[in-house]
Amino acid sequence: MANLPILQFEEKIVETVEKNSVVVIIGETGSGKSTQLSQILHRHGYTKSGVIAITQPRRVAAVSVARRVAQELDVPLGEDVGYAIRFEDRTTSKTRIKYLTDGVLLRESLSNPMLDDYSVIILDEAHERSLNTDILLGLVKRLVRIRASNFKVLITSATLDGEKVSEFFSGCPVLNVPGKLYPVEILYSKERPVSYIESSLKVAIDIHVREPEGDILIFMTGQDDIEKLVSRLEEKVRSLAEGSCMDAIIYPLHGSLPPEMQVRVFSPPPPNCRRFIVSTNIAETSLTVDGVVYVIDSGYVKQRQYNPSSGMFSLDVIQISKVQANQRAGRAGRTRPGKCYRLYPLAVYRDDFLDATIPEIQRTSLAGSVLYLKSLDLPDIDILKFDFLDAPSSESLEDALKQLYFIDAIDENGAITRIGRTMSDLPLEPSLSRTLIEANETGCLSQALTVVAMLSAETTLLPARSKPSEKKRKHDEDSNLPNGSGYGDHIQLLQIFESWDRTNYDPVWCKENGMQVRGMVFVKDVRRQLCQIMQKISKG
């Protein structure tokens, strides 16, 4: 911790924050922005007049970084240092440093538009350009104007164009924290592999056998591929003759892992041991794993895409951008010179990859954000003229307005309706909020709550991947429990939860039916929270 690059700039940072309401901080991933900035400002008295909020685009980062900061300050997590993510609030009135997702901060501003509990708001990881962070940029710009000088905003980024953000904030200062990055040799494949799991396996084992010590970070697109590769790696490593190379530990890393498994990658490995970290995109800039010297990059990422013609979202595997490819390569040069193996030819990188990732605001449905902005009731905010860092197209704004009109959230003049207002009380996508309101009126709220809770907990719900036991197969045949995978079917989601409910929430049932206990418990809690909000709405 002591040698994190950002700490050498402590005085400069504090001095600049003292003199300016908004400061942009650009620093390489792993330079200490997420874990240290809040502590620096805390040391210099900024928690005396309020709480320091640090937003993260990803839930897993909010939890992991809060945990780390609590550890460094030697305080219990959830008290002086806490976190709040959707459906999980680990803060108390004592909390002075609060990590939260950008979505949670947006929701908080609905009930407290001035956000005056906060003395400082740090919009972290702005380079991710999540839709919510983009909206927050516009909102805090307005707050800086309205709130007096005792309010500070910091915007941090690993790659973002600092000048552009500075211009957006009327020329605020940009501090660059130079990180020490060692050279990384880039090696390209001659062609794209048929299977990038097999290809990653081969490259990883080659490195393990031939190259000196240093951990290997492998980018996969999702949990399925990660689990396949982890089990293939385990087989291979076991089959290597004992003693012919150093020991190996293989870690999966993705957002649906239980927190205690996520943090394993942060503990130093035993001596003479090589770690293989098989990760989703979260290791690109959100989480920094120390000790990585070799990176294997498939060139792909899984991204939620929106199709305006069908109004549907899908999770697609798409090519990464050049900026992402370079971020991934950079992970290999943090401790010493490293190597990055790109499983694609140079020509693909040069000619096919986009220069930068398209910001979410330009590729997603804006219905939720437009409804949010409308429910703020701010006289000086006009949706169509909202101050965006990169404005969405007028087509996507119109599409959002159409969708909202279609589900009765706005009227023909674009004004928010009573239903629209009720919808914005629910921390859900507009279509799901609308579903609950309708279900409440038609007498099937209980079932709708279950389906919506199951859908909202999707990432933690994934079934355990181990082969179903004989008992489970037998059970599937005997029961009306849906067989096989495919949770797209809402009735199936309902049946799963109801079957578990009938066992009085027996964890053994989850195990026997291949469901994650933690995921199901989360669903139950989400359902309870949504139920409470619906009760309040019905009474109100």
List of residues contacting ligand ADP (CB under 6 A): 4, 27, 29-36, 64-65, 67-68, 263, 266, 288, 290
CB of 141 to ligand ADP, least distance (A): 23
CB of 233 to ligand ADP, least distance (A): 22
Residue closer to ligand ADP by CB (options 65, 105) is: 65
Residue closer to ligand ADP by CB (options 27, 420) is: 27
CB of 64 to ligand ADP, least distance (A): 4
Residue closer to ligand ADP by CB (options 177, 520) is: 177
Residue closer to ligand ADP by CB (options 30, 222) is: 30
CB of 56 to ligand ADP, least distance (A): 9
Whether 76 and 70 have beta carbons less than 8 Å apart is answered as: yes
One-character DSSP codes across 202-263: HHHHHHHHHS-S-EEEEE-SSHHHHHHHHHHHHHHHHHSPTTSS-EEEEEEE-TTS-HHHHG
Residue closer to ligand ADP by CB (options 319, 326) is: 326
CB of 10 to ligand ADP, least distance (A): 14
| Count of C-beta atoms within a 10 Å radius of residue 57 | 23
Whether 127 and 330 have beta carbons less than 8 Å apart is answered as: no
Q: Where are the alpha helices (DSSP H) in 74-169?
A: 102-111, 131-146, 162-168
CB of 179 to ligand ADP, least distance (A): 8
CB of 476 to ligand ADP, least distance (A): 39
Q: How many helices (H) and strands (E) in the chain?
A: 21, 16
Place of tokens 């947006």: 106
Structure tokens at 249: 């530990």
Instruction: Choose among 311, 248, 323: nearest CA to 281.
Output: 323
Residue closer to ligand ADP by CB (options 266, 388) is: 266
Whether 367 and 403 have beta carbons less than 8 Å apart is answered as: yes
CB of 249 to ligand ADP, least distance (A): 16
Residue closer to ligand ADP by CB (options 1, 358) is: 1
| Count of C-beta atoms within a 10 Å radius of residue 442 | 9
Residue closer to ligand ADP by CB (options 24, 481) is: 24
CB of 27 to ligand ADP, least distance (A): 5
Beta strands 88-90 and 81-85, pairing class = antiparallel
Whether 306 and 365 have beta carbons less than 8 Å apart is answered as: yes
Q: Which residues contact 433 (CB under 8 A, 6 or more apart)?
A: 422, 423, 424, 425, 426
- For residues 314-336, b (16+ Cβ closer than 10 Å) or e, as one string? eeeeebbbebbbbbbbbbbbbee
Residue closer to ligand ADP by CB (options 4, 391) is: 4
Outline where DSSP puts E strands in 409-460: none
